[in-house]
Chain A
Amino acid sequence: MPKFAAAARSALADTGLRRNLRGGIAAAREREAAAAAELGGWDDLREAGRAIRDAALLDLDAHLEELERAVTEAGGTVHWAADAAEACEIVTGLVRAAGADEVVKASSATTREIGLTAALARAGVTARETALADLAVQLGDDEPSHLLSPALHRDRAEIRELFRRTMPAAGPDLTDDPAGLAAAVRVHLRERFLRARVAVTGANFLVAETGTLVVLESEGNARMCLTLPGTLISVAGIDKVVPTWADMEVFLQLLPRSSSGDRMTPYVATSTGVTAGDGPRAFHLVLLDNGRTRALADEVGRTALRCIRCSACMNVCPVYERAGGRAYGPVYPGPIGAILTPQLRGVDSAADASLPYASTLCGACADVCPVKIDIPDVLVHLRGTVVESRRRRPVPPPELMLMRGLAWTMGDPRRYETALRRGTRWARLLSRGGRIRRLPGLLGKWTEARDLPAPPSESFRAWWTRRRP
């Protein structure tokens, strides 16, 4: 995975992508704002949402045990996975035990996080994405670019081409009318749904008190997954827990209005264990850590775990709107990705460590977040973590080198003036059209995400000395 700035540079050069992103996002932003404004007392709801998520996280151990008890009593089975590999292993084992070589998949950010599709493929199992955009991403062998609309980087004409190429049933007369494309997906997946023996889904919420799985969706694919196959496997982060059923009255208002801007998402499906004569005969819940406890241990960083994955923050983010979701790497895009991914994965890799810098700290995300995550605050905190983790390395980070060097140079007026003169000469050699795209050596890091104006040919100090009589 490339660093954010490198990935963003290619996205920025793609004008078609930027147009796709801008149109859709602006419309979504307006819908969300209207849906929030219509409901009087929006801020009271956000405050309740924040407090409930905090309460869930601060006694997470107790809530998880309560959840496990409730799911088990309702006829389900709970599995615990410390990391992605273990979660994939558990799911693969369950699919094998059910004797299936194909599964249908829905609501899948968490399964994407753990790389489940690839793991199943290695075991000879095909995983079919069932949401339209997820399917488009899968057929195009792509990375998703938005939480709610993962194929946002493709316009309707591209999606038509893709479907024509990859769907046997979609004839050459398939147009780029979105309704026609949706109908093609319905036909393409119908048989698969009717024959599927195993479904794998994510979860929007897990109610500890009652053991209830809550899934919000609009296409009807998750309802089919929850209902038709004999075995249902849901993979959910341990952060998805809310304490009580009554708490859902808050999130069933916050999430639809901040995500699609609907008063209510077209379908909300809840499922508690196994119901005789209705839906799956076996229900497995896989609870996933995969770095969440690392985030939980950080008092500032843990607020990111309040996230209910609504996608409002990416729709208001000026950096996201221009760079697109795929620059954030394979896990979670947008501002929430910039604070969640480095915490889940750690900041050892350059790519993950670059994410906290993928922001101008404008604060628009914090203003819309339905659970009041102060994203800029967490970003700044994580930048500190990144620099701190690099301080102990044999090669110090450029920021540290730079500051040490500056302290030495500026400590003496003569050294400083010599440096200025030399620096100016070098800088003008590097610049093109008055801008410097990349500083040499270690300083190059700082110019990854910004251009630098070339300095004037003479410094202020030199000019001042010269003009004095």
Chain B
Amino acid sequence: MTASGEGPGGGSRAEVLRRVREALGGARGTRPPVPRRYARRLTDDEAVNRADVLALFTERVADNRASVRHVSADELGTAVAAALWGREAKQIVVPADLPFGWLAELDGVRALADTPAVDVDTLAAVDGVVTGCAAAIAQTGTVVLDGGRAQGRRALTAVPAYHLCVVHADQIVGTVPEAVERLDPARPLTWISGPSATHGIEMVRVEGVHGPLHLEVLVVED
């Protein structure tokens, strides 16, 4: 192999690219454009106004077997505390930049901020994690985290058994194309649609393998 054909990782870079070019042949006409006739937004059957979008999101999150509740901004602290009490959580982790008000009503629950980074054994031992999100999708009942404000690093939501996610109503978009447009792929993204599940036994869906066994979503209507 000549040095010019080798990428930084080495291996058969030049050979693979040569085979690809040989397989495709020399003259390659122009490519016809990709037909994109599919819907980019919700249809009128699905939602005509914002209230419908929120209702659709709520319905679809529940379909994904997650719990979901609507709260007003000033109820949020109480709602977070109530959810954690409901799970009998004693100790949780939170991203370092979680808004202080979200945890203001916590009583009897210790919240560890992820600064400095909490080690994996602690992550595995805590009773849950509370985060915000970057966007949410009504049509599929999905929340998306991108490591931005109030979300923390990915391990925080991958390891604990319970995830409480706060979604602001204005973060909810209608469809997958709207979400893809809004998200930045340079950031690590985690799209979450319900709790961990498997089809590994007789192709029946069962909740709970490695990820959070319970997902709870609080929708804040401002």
Contact = CB atoms under 8 A, between A and B. Distances in A.
A48 interface: yes
A351 interface: no
B35 A51 contact: yes
Interface range for A: 35 or more
A234 interface: no
Contacts of B31: 55, 58-59
B188 A60 contact: no
Contacts of B154: 223, 226-227, 269, 278-279
B55 interface: no
Interface in A221-278: 221, 223-224, 226-228, 238, 245-250, 252-253, 256, 260, 262-272, 275, 277-278
B153 A80 contact: no
A32 to B, nearest CB: 11
Nearest to A137: B200
Interface string B102-113: 000000000000
Contacts of A80: 7, 9-13, 15-17
Interface in B136-192: 137, 139-142, 147, 153-155, 158-159, 176-177, 180-181, 185-192
A44 B120 contact: no
Interface string A59-84: 11100110010001010011111100
A210 B147 contact: no
A82 B12 CA distance: 6
A219 B39 contact: no
A266 B35 contact: no
Nearest to A20: B202
Contacts of A264: 64, 137, 140-142, 176, 191, 193
A80 B153 CA distance: 30
B128 interface: no
Nearest to A185: B209
A210 B185 contact: yes
Interface residues of B, number: 78
B9 A275 contact: no
B38 interface: yes
B23 A194 contact: no
A119 interface: no
A182 B176 contact: no
Interface stretch (A147-155, A330-338, A389-397, A429-437): A147-155
A467 to B, nearest CB: 58
B192 A132 contact: no
A302 B20 CA distance: 12
A77 B117 CA distance: 26
21 contacts: A27-B203, A48-B34, A55-B31, A59-B28, A60-B20, A78-B7, A79-B7, A80-B13, A136-B200, A149-B200, A152-B202, A194-B120, A194-B159, A219-B211, A220-B158, A238-B20, A245-B185, A266-B197, A272-B188, A296-B24, A297-B22
Q: Which 3 A-B residue pairs are closest in the complex by CB-CB distance?
A: A220-B211, A24-B203, A133-B200
Given A228-B158, A260-B205, 11 more contacts: A28-B203, A40-B43, A41-B39, A78-B8, A81-B16, A82-B19, A133-B200, A148-B203, A185-B210, A219-B197, A264-B141
Interface of B: 7-13, 15-17, 19-24, 28, 31-32, 34-40, 43, 45, 60, 63-64, 117, 120-121, 124, 137, 139-142, 147, 153-155, 158-159, 176-177, 180-181, 185-212
